Structure formats: C-alpha cells, structure tokens
Structure 1
Amino acid sequence: MKSKKSLLTFFIITILLIGIFLVPALADAGSFSGNSGYGGSFGGSSGGTSFGGSGAWGLLALGSAGGSSGGVFAIIIIAFIVFNIWKNFRRRNRAVTFSHTQDNDYSQPMPIETLRKIDPNFLVYPMKEKISNLYVRMQNAWQAKEFEEMRPFMTDALYNQFKLQLDELVRSGCTNHVERIAVLEVNLRGWKTDESNDAVIAQLQTRIIDYISNDTTGELISGSKTMEKFMTYEWTLIRSKGMTTPETAGEGSENVVTIHCPSCGAPVEINQSAKCPYCDSVINSADYDWVISEIKGIAQRNGY
C-alpha cells in the first residue's frame, strides 16, 4: 500500500514539474533570475536555489524557451531528477539511522581573516576583485554562448551543469541577454576546509537586466529589456588543500598563476586556459588556484 502511494506521489510531482519546466523562463547564467522576486530581503540569506555540487536543481529554471525539441529533453531530465528524489526518500525511510551524518568543521565557516594563518599572501581585496570580474565574465560568456572560456574557473561538475543548460538554450534557438551588469558588493563570509579542499564562501549583490529573445525573429520570449533585477548569490570557491597564494598573486598583481603542465612540463597560465596549449592535456585548475564549485541564488528584487 505504501509502495503504491509512493509511486502515485512520484507521478504527481513529475507532472507538476513538467508543467513548470515547459513555461518559458528567464535565465541569467545558471538560471537564477525569474519574473518574480524570491528569497528574503535584498542581501538576505534565506530561500533561493542551489546550483553546483549538490545536484541538478538549477536545471529547473531554464525551461524550453521557444523550442519543441527542448520540451522532450526537459521531460527526460525532470523524470530522472524526481525518480532519484523518490529513490533517495525510500532509502532514507528504510535506514533512518543514516539520515544524520556526523558534522565536521567543513559545515561551519571560519572568519576569513584566519585563512592568512595558513596562507600569508592571501588578501581580501584581490579575492573580491577576482570574484567580481568572474561574475561579469560569466554573464558575458553566457549571452555570447561561448562558455568555454569559463572552463578554467569552474569545477568540472559545475561547468558541465552550466554547459548543459546553455546547450538546451542553443537548441531552442534563443539567446539569453544579460545586460547592464554591475557587481554592487562582494562580501567574503568565511572559509571552510575538509580533507581535500579549502573553500571560500562569498556573497555577491549584483544588478542585471535579463531577457530571452528568439534568434530568428528577434521576438521577446520572456523578460524585460528595461526592468532591473537586483540579485543576491552565494558562491563557493575551492582550492586544493595545502595550496597557498603566490606572492605575485597578491595586491596589485594581475592574478595570473603560471604553472608547468604535469604532462609535458610546458609553462601554462592557468587563468587563461584549463588545457595545455602544447600537448592538449586538461589541467585541474583547482590544484593551483581558486575555482567556483557552487553557486546559490539567495534573493531577487525587481525594480525599474
């Protein structure tokens, strides 16, 4: 009986999500903005949508803006997501004792100032500047549909999620315009560490104009060409544990990290490419510099 109820719940959720997914949606890079505001007050930390290490929920905001083939693809994605949620729910019901894993220090951010105890060359201002520049660069790459340039600055998992969304947008024959981009504030909220990585947690407050148009007709599919959106995000950037900031990457530098390719030994500017230009070996940027591993939409406020 319980099995039948669970199966019925699975189908109901799937149908509801398909209805949401097939409505044309707004999508800044990662699909965090929408027609309506969300989350708490501007700059707050409640609510929102996660996009990164925890899974595919960010995919739900893209929709099939103007493409029939995208709808079928969307249905497949939603069915897969809901099935995994249902499967995990059943597993937790069978083994309640495993629902609470032991906490570790990684769940509690430490004051950002304490990072300098293990990384004396780490400075707050260059890190804020790096994050601000990456945000603008990411939105421009998203609009231009040339997201490959963001590859060195993201983990494999996060990059692939963004690329999946952008490929769907391309298939639908639409362009997501992100204009009047301004980073209003970047606040480093703290840092964490685990067995493999160090992580910096940053909160961004930005302003954008975000709309989608049809590539063939120029028709406005969704959004507004005049309405400003004030967005709040939480970014997590990681770096391999034990790595430190080079002296040349401190204040007043160009923040370019030059390393030697582990395959052929050639010098590579890791901030320019995640691939060696000499032997085409893919280099894990997180082994040498901070890369974005997760982006969470915290709040959105609309205004003119």
Structure 2
Amino acid sequence: MTPRARRILLISGIAFGVLLCVAAVAFARPGGGQSYSGGSRSRSSGGGGGSSSGGGDGGFLIELLVWLVFRHPGIGIPVVLIVAAIFVGRSMLGSKVQEWSTAATPQSVTRVQRVETPPPQAARAVPRSALDALRAIDPEFSVVLFEDFVYLLYAEIQRARAGAGRLASITAFLSPQLAQNLQAGASGASALADVRGIVIGAMRLTGFSGTSNIHAATVSVELEFEVNYVEVNQQGGEQRFYVTDRMGLSRARTAQSRPPARARTLDCPNCGAPLENMRGTQCAFCQQDVGGGRFDWNVGYLSTMTKERRGPLLTGDVQETGTNEPTLVDPQAVPRIHAFEQRDPAFNWDAFTNRAAHIFGALQGAWSGREPARIRPYVSDNLFQSMVYWIDLYVQARCRNMNDNARILRIDLANVLSDKVYDAITVRIFATGADYTISDDGKVLSGSRSRERTYSEYWTFIRGSQRQGPARTDAACPNCGAPLDISMVGNCQFCRAKVTAGEFDWVLSRIEQDESYTG
C-alpha cells in the first residue's frame, strides 16, 4: 500500500470513529430508550465505562485531534474539517425546530432497550386505529380499555404458569388447548414457583379481522408483546428473561364490551361475578358456560417467538433509531382533531401541548430523583407500574440515569381516537438533553454530561370523553382543586377521586419508541 493510500485510509478510519462517537451516546428515558429488551443493541460509548474522569465526554478525542493538527497537519486538518462539517450540519438541523424549555432540573431516565432484529416469522404491524372499526358492531368498544384489559389478562396468564390454582381462575378466558398446555407446564417436573416483575415494554397489533364480514362468526385480534419478567424456580432461584410473545384473541361477533367499571378486572365474562364462582368455564352464579369467547375475549394461543436470558441494561449505551424518520400521521388525525374541537369548544391545542410539556418535566424530575410519587398524578396505572419497576432497579443497582437540561423541541400530532369512554391524542415529541448514568458516589457509568442528543417518541394522552375544557398545568387536583396530593393507587387524598385514569384531565398512558409505533 502506498503512503498516500495509507494516509487516506487513516483519515477515513478516524473520521468514521468520530461519527461513531457522535452517534453512540446513551439513551435512557422515562418509559423508553433502551432497557426492556436487556442488551442486544448495547454499545459502549467512548470513555463511559465507569471512570469518574472520562464519562464519555470525548476528552481523549479532542486531544487526539489537537495532536494530529500540530504533528501531522496533512491528516489532522482534514479530520478537523470533517468533524466541523458534521457538527455544523447537526446544528443547522437542530435550529430548524424551536426549543421548548420545560425548566426541568437535572433529569434521569429508564433504559428500555430495543430489539436488534425482528423475531422469527415477524408479523406485519397493523395501526392501532384499525381496532376502532369494532365500534361499528360494538358501540361501547374502547381501544384504551381494551388495551388495559389485555395487559391484565396477559400478566395473569404468565403468573398462571407457576401454579394450577392460578390457572383455574382464568380458564374461562382461555381456549381448551391453551389451558391444557398451561396446566401441563404448571404441574410438570420443571414447574415454576412464581413469575413476577412482568413489564410489557411494547405491544403491537399484528392482526385484526371479522368486523367487515357480516357472515363472520367471530372477531379476531393478534398482538405481539415485548416483555421482561422474572421466573422463580422451586428452589428459589431467579432468572430474568426478555421475551417476544404473540397472543391471539377472539370473541363472538355478537359479544359486547365490558362496562368501564369492569374493564380493568377479571370476572365472569357474562354476569361479572367474582372468579371464585367459576368452575372451569361454568359460572356458578349465572349458570352460564362463558368460555369460547361467547361473551368476552378468549385467548386461543400464546406463542413465544424469542426468549433470552437477560438482565436489564442500566448502564450500557445504544444508538437512537428513527428520530430522523417522518412522523407517522394517521390520515384521519386532522379531521378527528377538528371534530374533537367542535365537540369541545374549550379545547385548546396550545393548552394541551403545555400540559404535555408539564408532564414531560415532571417525568424527568421524578426519574432523576428516583421519586415515582412525583409523576403519579400524571400517568396511567400501567405506565406508573413500569416506572416504579425501573426506578427500583436503579435504586438496587445504586445508580441513577440523568438527562440534564431536558427540553422539548417540537410536538407533532400523530393520531386522535374518540369513543364513548375516552378521547386519546397521540403526539410525537422531539426532545433533547445530556443523557448519562452515574453511580450513587458520582462516577459516570455511561453516556456524557456535556453532549446532548435529540430523540423522539410517540406519547399517547387520554381523557374521559365526557370531560371538557382546557388542560391544566397547575399542581392542583383536577377534580376538587386541592393541592396535588395523590396516593399510590391514584386517588386524591382530599376528594378521594381517582385522577390517574383520565376522568378529569389528560394523563399519559403510553410511551412508544419510533421503531415500535405503528399508528
């Protein structure tokens, strides 16, 4: 190789290294960024492996560039020009969106790690809004309540793998084959003592049929989950897994949705009697055989696509994915938001986005302080449970994840869904901040204190459809106006009203990464 070729190769290699350092900053945000899938995409950023002096701030890189400029200007100057072009381009791109400071204090976030490659036989995702077609045959159907019910049912099935007693209480919601398979596993030689710490990182709709064909006997839904859970064996040993599961549900086309008061509970699919009254699929109270999806959703299969032994990634780094992709906007989003504004003339987009920014700031502060109670008034039960889980892991690991100077750059409308129970508005939030993880004694474990990265996520906010008026950003109960003091179950300590289900004001119910969101 000629000297000129070696020099060109060296310049290219250094420039590529610079690009990697720029691109590989840690991402760990409340509800998203990298941790539920453990570590398949983990990547160490330069200097961030636990040293109190390096921390991924790029000091070594700067020293190398200075040394090259003075000792080998033929190499150093072109590299500096390449680096300058990269940062100027990034600055110009960033200047096109207006910053929206939330005046947040140093922030911390959870790491939700994404999957590097799709699972075997990956199914094509279907927009969540497709489920809205169910309202044509079931006027009481609500996408929000359906998702809450499915989360609950999935978790109960996982727990049922650890004991036949638990399985007996949910048999009415399972196909005979699935119940038989679970029974065999729960009573076999390798039976589990418990399945706990079940955290659903993502849930995608991958199949939906039965509403458009009037001759169809059933409606079918297929969902794909990305989940963390802990299996406990009979000797007390624990192992955490990252799993992708696919679950198929169906119900009779004539079945109707549960009333809102029962949507977050499991009981007799027909009369609502406690599950203690169930004898297999027979309810001792209403004397009905309630299995097979006659009255409610029935799980036909639960297939595990991938299952990997992984602990949660708290200090590794992954590359952000999808931030530069266009916002996925439902074709009916704009007409729906206009219809919503006509139904609620007091609704104001600026007030709504101010509410979103207020929740964003509270979420960051709660994460950095490892204080989940601070975010309790603003998030749904499912999202809060996920936050508590990850914050507990950070406490146990004696570290915390920071996102200093976290601020929103832009908010895009993505989708609007309305039914008799809930209004749901999904927005894409573009934000930035210096993301890093530190130990309790102040050592930087990953990321950078000084380098910011822009990211985006899809956030879904819900509010009761009977509620009207502008969104609030003050620290007061949205029902009684008393100082905001919310219990861990979501009730105001003064008026006792549950304010975290969206009955009174917008609450955050979902955070989805760019590559997970399907509409």
Question: TM above 0.5, one fold?
Answer: yes
Q: Does 1:152 align with 2:316?
A: no
Quote how far apart the aligned CAs of 1:181 are. Answer: 1.1
Report 1:55-74 matches (<5 A).
56-57=200-201
Conserved? CA contact 2:381–2:501, under 8 Å: no
Give the Cα separation in 2 of the matches to 1:113 and 1:152. Answer: 28
Cα pair 2:333 2:413 within 8 Å, conserved: no
Q: CA, structure 1 residues 193+271, in 2 after alignment: closer, same or farther (shift >3 Å)?
A: farther
Cα deviation, 1:240-270, whole Å, max 9, x if unaligned, reads 2222116xx58xx8595642xxxxxxx3548
Alignment check: 8 A CA contact 1:268 1:276 kept = no
C-alpha spacing 1:254/1:180, structure 2 compared with 1 (3 Å)? closer
Query: How big is each residue's C-alpha offset from its partner over 1:262-298, in whole Å with a ceiling of 9 and x where there is no partner?
Result: xxxxx35486534332476654441111111101122
**Hey, what's the Cα distance between the residues in 2 that align with 1:32 and 1:117?**
36
Residue number in structure 2 paired with 1:291: 507
Q: 1:244 aligns with which of 468, 474, 492?
A: 468
In the alignment, is the contact (CA less than 8 A) between 1:132 and 1:186 conserved in 2? no
- Return the offset for 1:134: 1.3
Deviation at 1:77, TM superposition (A): 4.4
Per residue, is there more helix in 1 or in 2? 1
Matched, 1:229 2:453: yes
How far is the alpha carbon of 1:129 from its aligned partner? 1.1
Equivalent position SS for 1:166? helix
TM superposition score normalised by structure 2: 0.38
Q: Any idea what the Cα deviations from partners look like across 1:110-143, whole Å, max 9, x if unmatched?
A: 5322211111100010111111121122111100
Distance in 2 separating the partners of 1:195 and 1:280: 24
Query: What SS does the aligned partner of 2:436 have?
Result: strand
Q: Does residue 187 in structure 1 map to residue 397 in structure 2?
A: no
Which structure carries more relative contact order (alpha carbon 8 Å, separation 6+)? 1
What is the aligned partner in structure 2 of residue 127 from structure 1? 352
Q: 1:258 to 1:296 in 2, by over 3 A?
A: closer
Letter paired with 1:170: V
Structure 2 counterpart of 1:30: 31
Distance 1:203 1:86, change over 3 A: closer
- Secondary structure of 2:469's counterpart equals coil
CA shift in 2, pair 1:181/1:60, >3 Å: farther
SS of residue paired to 1:76: strand
Quick one: which amino acid aligns to residue 188 of structure 1?
L
Tell which structure's C-alpha radius of gyration is larger: 2
Q: Distance in 1 between matches of 2:482 and 2:440?
A: 35
**Counterpart Cα distance in 2 of 1:181 and 1:227:** 12
The alpha-carbon deviation at position 169 of structure 1 amounts to: 1.1
Give the 3 Å change call, closer, same or farther, for CA 230–114 of structure 1 in structure 2. Answer: same
* Code of the aligned partner of 1:223: G
Aligned residues of 1:176 and 1:210 also touching (Cα < 8 A) = yes
Matched, 1:91 2:301: yes
Task: State the 1:221 CA deviation.
Answer: 1.5
2-structure distance, mates of 1:31, 1:61: 13
Identity %: 21
Q: CA deviation at 1:200?
A: 0.8
CA contact (8 A) 1:184 1:207 kept: yes
C-alpha separation in 1, matches of 2:32 and 2:415: 25
Distance 1:257 1:116 in 2: 24
SS at match of 1:225: strand
Runs of 5+ unmatched residues, structure 1: 1-24, 63-71, 94-105, 260-266, 300-304
CA shift digits 1:49-79 (9 cap, x unpaired):
69x96771269899xxxxxxxxx86x4243x
* Segment of structure 1 superposing worse, 84-93 or 218-227: 84-93
TM-score, normalised with respect to structure 1: 0.62
Partner Cα separation in structure 2 for residue 143 and residue 76 of structure 1: 25
Paired residue type of 1:215:
D
Please name the residue that 2:368 is paired with. 143
Classify the secondary structure of the residue corresponding to 2:505: coil
Question: Which amino acid in 1 is paired with 2:359?
Answer: L
RMSD over aligned Cα atoms: 4.1
Change (3 A) 1:110 1:153: same
Q: CA deviation at 1:227?
A: 2.0
What corresponds to 1:100 in structure 2?
none
Q: CA deviation at 1:196?
A: 2.5
Amino acid at match of 2:510: E
8 Å Cα contact 1:238/1:290 also seen in 2: yes
Judge conservation of contact 2:435–2:449 (CA < 8 Å) in 1.
yes
Looking at structure 2, the residues matched to 213 and 184 of structure 1 have their Cα atoms a distance apart, in angstroms, of 25
Aligned length: 230
Q: Secondary structure at the match of 1:164?
A: helix
Task: Name structure 2 gaps, 5 residues minimum.
Answer: 1-25, 35-41, 45-92, 97-112, 116-143, 152-198, 203-224, 229-236, 250-298, 304-329
